[in-house]
Amino acid sequence: MPKMNEPEIAERMAARKDWERLGDMLVRSWQFPSIRRALEFVNQVVERAERLDHHPDIILSYRTVRLELSTHADGGLTEVDFLLAAEIDLIPLDR
């Protein structure tokens, strides 16, 4: 998948308001009431990542989950990073 240019990235970032861009990555963190709930969330992320065959870096620190999305093979952000971010944004957080 081709690496996106700056105008394409800026356009897609507007729709991903809770995500931030750090260089060639989309990054977002969540706080959960328990480690069990954090792990449930991670499992839901993995289900979506498997469907898209695109896997984020997942950092789990007790009740905090941080996701970093980037297409390493293409050296930056691609459409699939934004597709996965949109899928992750649909995960219900109030379980």
Q: What are the tens digits of pLDDT across the range 16-66?
A: 999 999 999 999 999 999 999 999 999 999 999 999 999 999 999 999 999
At residue 95, the pLDDT reads 63
| C-alpha span between 63 and 61 (Å, rounded) | 6
Sign of the four-CA dihedral 22, 28, 34, 38: negative
Residue bearing the bigger pLDDT, 94 or 69: 69
At residue 38, the pLDDT reads 97
Task: Please work out, in degrees rounded to the nearest 5, the angle formed at the alpha carbon of residue 58 by the alpha carbons of 52 and 61.
Answer: 155
Q: Which CATH number fits domain 6-89: 2.30.30.90, 3.40.50.300, 3.90.420.10, 3.30.1360.20?
A: 3.30.1360.20
In the predicted structure, residue 72 carries a pLDDT above the cut 90: no
**Extents of the domains making up the chain:** 6-89
pLDDT class for 75, splitting at 50, 70, 90? Answer: confident
